[in-house]
């Protein structure tokens, strides 16, 4: 699994702006089109755009 999954770091950071992510995706797209890369995935790490699941109620005891 890990030989097929990679994380790209920019300036030693694995989280960066949307603009940088889009530029990286555009640069990598020809490799995906040619089949050298199977898939490109981007993840939005902004908590405002990714609401957390509700917390489980605490057990009383």
pTM (predicted TM-score) = 0.68
Q: In this structure, what are the phi and psi dihedrals at residue 46, rounded to the nearest 5 degrees?
A: -70, 115
Q: In this structure, what are the phi and psi dihedrals at residue 35, rounded to the nearest 5 degrees?
A: 95, 0
The SS3 assignment for 19 reads helix
Please report, in tens digits, the pLDDT of each residue of the chain (61 residues total): 567 888 889 999 998 999 999 999 999 999 999 999 999 998 888 888 887 777 777 777 6
Cα–Cα nearest to 24, from 1, 49, 7? 7
């Amino acid at each position: 699994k890990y030989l097929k999954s990679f994380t790209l770091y920019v300036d030693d950071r694995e989280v960066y702006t949307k603009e940088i992510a889009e530029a990286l995706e555009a640069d990598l797209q020809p490799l995906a089109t040619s089949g050298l890369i199977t898939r490109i995935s981007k993840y939005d790490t902004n908590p405002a755009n990714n609401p957390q699941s509700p917390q489980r109620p605490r057990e009383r005891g």
